[in-house]
Amino acid sequence: MKTKMRFLRLALFAWLTLCLPAGSWAAITVYFSPQDPVVPVGETFTVDLLADMPTDTVLGWGLDVSFDPSVLSLVEPPAIGPLWTPAPFTMDGDGLAGLAFPLPITGNNILLATLKFEALDPGLSDLLAGATLGDLTEGFPLATGGFAQVNYTAGSVNAVPVPGALLLFGSGLAGLLGLRKRSRK
């Protein structure tokens, strides 16, 4: 029985080693910085899209970023990080793709792109990065072949009313209450 179990473990290990694509061993983490900013309504602000790629070298990348358009607006096209050449061929036209040419890239805190937003209305908007299944211009192709496994860390933006507007509203309300009290006398 022990021999049979050893054989099955060895067979499983051999299958995992030989049959899984090279990219499935790599893990890249994509995240936003700042991760959860608080921004006054009407303000423009930037959020960096970063990646930790500690183990394998990457030839390029392509992603989608989603957010609540009733809370945020993307003010201008993304600015691709300095280590990358902007890729001219994104299927969805969002401009979130870069090529590492002629040398592949590896490391931590690698700037992929900077996104410039405007806070439109008060509310909380998630920032989600991801790749569309079947879109071959998205993901992280590896120099060793295949695509990397990617872990996405979500961010959020809390758009808050402008403090001056709240103060103005509050003082107007207090004035109305004061007039109401005077009219009762």
Instruction: Write the CATH number for 157.
Output: 2.60.40.680
Tell me how far CA of residue 32 lies from CA of 53, 83, 86, 114, in angstroms: 15, 17, 19, 10
Residue 18 domain flag: no
Query: In this structure, is residue 48 part of a structural domain?
Result: yes
pTM to 2 decimal places = 0.74
Residue 137 pLDDT level (bands cut at 50, 70, 90):
confident
Q: Which domain holds residue 122?
A: 23-174
142-183 confidence digits (pLDDT tens): 999 899 999 999 999 999 998 755 555 566 666 666 656 666
Q: What is the 3-state secondary structure (H, E, C) of 28-45?
A: EEEEEECCCCEEECCCEE
Contact 49, 115 (CB under 8 A): yes
Whether 117 and 31 have beta carbons less than 8 Å apart is answered as no
**Considering the chain, what is the average pLDDT of its residues?**
82
Contact between 40 and 120 under an 8 Å Cβ cutoff? The reply is no
- Residue 95 within a domain: yes
**6 is a domain residue:** no
94-106: average pLDDT? 90
pLDDT for the residue numbered 14: 35
Q: How many domains does the chain have?
A: 1
In a domain, 14, yes or no: no
Q: Is residue 69 part of a domain?
A: yes
Q: Is 180 helix (H, G, I), strand (E, B) or coil?
A: helix
Does residue 136 belong to any structural domain of this protein? yes
